[in-house]
């Protein structure tokens, strides 16, 4: 879907620039504008179109990331209510998260992560799949230092995105 939108944007930019260049050529031909003025306006129009397209895409990507990370943040808050982060970071062994509602939340998060896998690092995806495997095999997942550090990293990204939310 986003590929189609990108192609449509590219076509619209090309058509807009072609239209502007054509109009400027006509204006230049009839002496309304000098050739230098026409070229300057055409370049300005092209740059404006490119910047507009770039920033629209950039903000859309940030909104999508914010939606994904908001859901992750909500799950982390629930996990840290059951197993406080300070305790998870102190534990050398860790403990099992045995709350079925959090497992359900995790599957929702996992679906989002798989859908937006391009927005996550390889390590993030590996940790997600590790937790998924634990839930499938044991009906719960382990929360220790490694997992809590990962949750903290995801939450830090959420905080960073929240500062720039549009």
Segment 108-158, tens digit of pLDDT: 889 988 998 988 999 999 999 999 999 999 999 999 999 999 999 999 999
What is the span of the domain harbouring residue 34?
Answer: 2-59
Number of separate domains in the chain: 2
Position 131 scores a pLDDT of: 93
Domain shared by 80 and 150, yes or no = yes
> Same domain for 40 and 70?
no
Instruction: Say whether both 38 and 114 belong to one domain.
Output: no
Domain end point (choices 39, 59, 79): 59
The pLDDT tens digits for 4-44 are: 666 676 667 767 767 777 777 777 667 777 777 777 777 88
Return the sign of the alpha-carbon dihedral for residues 121, 110, 145, 152.
positive
Burial class for 127, CB neighbours closer than 10 Å (0-12, 13-18, 19+) = buried
Asked if residue 134 and residue 69 are part of one domain, the reply reads yes
- Residue for token digits 């590996």? 126
Dihedral sign for Cα atoms in the order 54, 59, 64, 69: positive
Asked which of 23, 42, 59 is the last residue of a domain, the reply is 59
């Amino acid at each position: 879907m986003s590929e189609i939108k990108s192609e449509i944007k590219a076509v619209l930019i090309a058509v807009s620039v072609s239209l502007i260049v054509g109009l400027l050529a006509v204006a230049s031909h009839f002496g309304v504008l000098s050739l230098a003025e026409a070229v300057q306006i055409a370049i300005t129009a092209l740059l404006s179109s490119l910047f507009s397209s770039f920033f629209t895409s950039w903000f859309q990507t940030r909104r999508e990331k914010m939606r994904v990370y908001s859901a992750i943040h909500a799950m982390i808050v629930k996990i840290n209510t059951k197993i406080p982060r300070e305790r998870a970071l102190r534990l050398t062994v860790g403990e099992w998260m045995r709350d079925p509602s959090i497992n359900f939340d995790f599957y929702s998060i996992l679906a989002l992560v798989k859908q937006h896998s391009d927005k996550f690092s390889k390590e993030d995806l590996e940790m997600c799949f590790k937790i998924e495997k634990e839930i499938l095999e044991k009906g719960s997942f382990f929360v220790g230092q490694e997992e809590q550090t990962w949750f903290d990293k995801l939450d830090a990204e959420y905080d960073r995105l929240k500062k720039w939310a549009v």
